[in-house]
Structure 1
């Protein structure tokens, strides 16, 4: 259960950080270790050069970000910084 708690907590941190950045729509309530979001396709493609994640619905720009037992606060913060930078481009 500790591993699941870690993954779920990092998904919550990610979703809260994404909301703070703005410019990205969180599509569903975060109930576990997944965050579903909609953002500009070009931003997703640039982020995929640095981070591993998948399109959930590529035509709509929907992505699925997953956190795991070994996702750290630093990992989430690095992703959020990159997201903020890419959205500002």
Structure 2
């Protein structure tokens, strides 16, 4: 599993998750509503919510064990901010 969790892979996964929630926010802000967008949004939101929390935990663990790189730290901070905003929107 350590071969799969590299700094590059973790950074890419973090940025994809943050981008997904950013796109969902922008689509809702500008009230862009197409059927196909709604289908993908419904299908992907719960898996991305779970992945957000899982990758946040993996990222923090990876950050303490390995060398700290600036891009990895930035992507982890963006993921933490996105997680906070997403989870806060439920309450």
Question: TM-score under structure 2 normalisation?
Answer: 0.31
Larger radius of gyration: 2
Q: Greater relative contact order: 1 or 2 (C-alpha under 8 angstroms, separation 6 or more)?
A: 2
Higher share in strand: 1
